[in-house]
Structure 1
Amino acid sequence: MINLSAKAALALVALSFATPAWAHPEDAGLNAVYAGLAKARAANDVTGMASHFHPQGLLVDARPGPALPGGELAARLAPQAERIAKDGVSIQTAYRIERRQVLEGGIALDAGYMRQAFRRPGADEQVRYARFLVTLKREADGRWKILGDASMPSTAEVWAALTPQDGLAFDK
């Protein structure tokens, strides 16, 4: 017969195998933001993409142009989405988070990389890589929204050299 302390020890061992060693309780909710962005981008759904940004958030893209307020994202992306649909372009987006800090007060910082592959019928695939720093804020309903997103160009070599981190989004 197993005594109570042995049962507790076994439960702790079992729990240690059930969750990654460095996982944070907020990882699933934070990773869901990136999964939602990738899904919306693949569907060419600008409203869905914008829904992951806080209305007062700020997007500083790697491409030239002014910073974009989160509340204006869907309207600004709509003409691009129309061109993408008209030209039959498909976009696959993947994210690899290399470091995350979850702060008190419902703020999280993610440093990572994004890969976007553009496929146009009859043309070679074009791939764009970016490094980013994203600040997220937990809303009253528990969902996370992007408050700040700043990115800069990166390379395929950096993307390929990244390694998965426990609990953090890491797409292939």
Structure 2
Amino acid sequence: MNMILGKRHIILAALVLVLGIAVYLNWTFGGKDGGLTITDQLEAGKNYGDAQYVDANAGEANGDLEVNAAGSSFFSEARLTRQQSRDSAIDALTQMFQDSSLSDEQKSQLAVKAAGVAEAIETEGKIENMIKAKGFSDCMVYIDGDRVDVIVKTNGLLKEEVAQIKDILIAETGALEENISITEAQ
């Protein structure tokens, strides 16, 4: 019993010593004020709760802001809808793939479909980034088999811009020009 009590006392004394050294080092290297900023030293010239004048005409007009907000929400909702439909399609493929009654040939067909969905997702993302790199603020690309649909956020497409977008689509997907649809959204 004495031996156990002695070991506990030694361990407790060592922990107290380590704690004391840590406090001393913190006090030594922390400086006199401990790194705290006194409230009186803060900038007294600003009161962040005060009202301030805002000129609605300084940036964009209110109508433009509403159109941009509507355009942004359109693209956000479209991305969400696209992701949800893909998730449900992938879930359906996964459930079918796990069905034990399917033959190996049917499972390989499902694997090919899943690979096609994954490839379409990757290609759509790549095309969207390439179109945005051309100076468009936002866009959505849908690939369905040999058909490619693009929605571009713009106030009007020039013929040169349409040609650039078609060149990207044809190069990345190999789609025929008659299977490409480009739509403007504001």
TM range (shorter): under 0.3
> Larger RCO: Structure 1 or Structure 2 (Cα < 8 Å, ≥ 6 residues apart)?
1
Q: Decide which structure has greater strand share.
A: 1
Q: Decide which structure has greater helix share.
A: 2
TM-score, scaled relative to structure 1: 0.26
